[in-house]
Structure 1
Amino acid sequence: MQKSPIRRTVKRPAAAAAAPSAPGTEEREPRGARRKRETRARLLEAALNLMAQKGMEGVAINEITEAADVGFGSFYNHFESKEAIHAALTDQVFEDFADTLERLAGDLSDPAEVISVSVRHTLLRARREPVWGQFLIREGLSPHALNRGLGQRLSRDIRKGIAAKRFSIADPLMALLSVGGTVLAAIAVDLYGDAPIGPEISALGELGLRSKDFPERAATALLQTLGIGRAEANRIARRPLPVVESQLNAD
Structure 2
Amino acid sequence: MLLAEGPAKALTVDAVTEAAGVAKGTFYYHFQNIEELAAAVTVQLGRSFDDVLAPARTEMRDPIARLSFAFTQSLEKAISDTGWARLVVQTSETRNEFGRSVRDNLKAEIAEAIAQGRVTVQDPELATDILVGIWLQVTRGILERVAPPQLSSQALEAALRAIGSAPKSRSP
Q: Mark the runs of 5 or more structure 1 residues left unpaired by the alignment.
A: 1-48, 195-209, 239-251
Structure 1 Cα separation of the partners of residues 50 and 103 of structure 2: 9
Structure 2 Cα separation of the partners of residues 141 and 221 of structure 1: 23
Structure 1 Cα separation of the partners of residues 93 and 11 of structure 2: 20
Which residue identity does 2:100 align to in structure 1?
N
Does the 8 A contact of 2:92 with 2:99 survive in 1?
Answer: yes
User: Structure 2-normalised TM-score?
Assistant: 0.90
1:23-38 aligned at under 5 Å gives the runs: none
Which residue identity does 1:153 align to in structure 2?
N
Structure 1 Cα separation of the partners of residues 51 and 111 of structure 2: 19
Residue 147 in structure 1 maps to residue 108 in structure 2 = no
The 1:141–1:168 alpha-carbon spacing in structure 2 relative to 1, beyond 3 Å, is farther
Does the 8 A contact of 2:63 with 2:112 survive in 1?
Answer: yes
Residue 169 in structure 1 maps to residue 169 in structure 2 = no
User: 1:76 deviation in Å?
Assistant: 1.0
Which residue identity does 1:169 align to in structure 2?
V
1:68-107 aligned at under 5 Å gives the runs: 68-107=20-59
Does the 8 A contact of 1:51 with 1:58 survive in 2?
Answer: no
The 1:98–1:142 alpha-carbon spacing in structure 2 relative to 1, beyond 3 Å, is farther
> Residue 220 of structure 1 is aligned with which of 153, 157, 167?
157
Does the 8 A contact of 2:130 with 2:163 survive in 1?
Answer: no
Runs of at least 4 residues of structure 1 off by over 4 A?
A: none
User: 1:116 deviation in Å?
Assistant: 1.2
User: 1:62 deviation in Å?
Assistant: 1.1
User: Structure 1-normalised TM-score?
Assistant: 0.63
1:44-193 aligned at under 5 Å gives the runs: 49-140=1-92, 142-144=94-96, 145-148=98-101, 150-193=102-145
Partner of 1:35: none
Structure 1 Cα separation of the partners of residues 104 and 24 of structure 2: 36
Structure 1 Cα separation of the partners of residues 162 and 110 of structure 2: 12
Q: Mark the runs of 5 or more structure 2 residues left unpaired by the alignment.
A: none
SS in 1 for 2:119: coil
Q: Deviations over 1:105-137 (max 9, x none)?
A: 421122111111111111110111101101111
User: 1:95 deviation in Å?
Assistant: 3.1
Structure 2 Cα separation of the partners of residues 142 and 54 of structure 1: 11
Partner of 1:32: none
Q: Which structure features the higher share of helix residues?
A: 2
Does the 8 A contact of 2:52 with 2:73 survive in 1?
Answer: no
Of all paired residues, the percent bearing the same amino acid is 24
User: 1:192 deviation in Å?
Assistant: 2.2
Structure 2 Cα separation of the partners of residues 160 and 84 of structure 1: 35
User: 1:141 deviation in Å?
Assistant: 5.4
Aligned residues, how many? 170
User: 1:89 deviation in Å?
Assistant: 0.5
Structure 1 Cα separation of the partners of residues 2 and 9 of structure 2: 11
Does the 8 A contact of 1:52 with 1:134 survive in 2?
Answer: yes
Structure 2 Cα separation of the partners of residues 121 and 112 of structure 1: 14
SS in 2 for 1:143: coil
SS in 2 for 1:63: helix
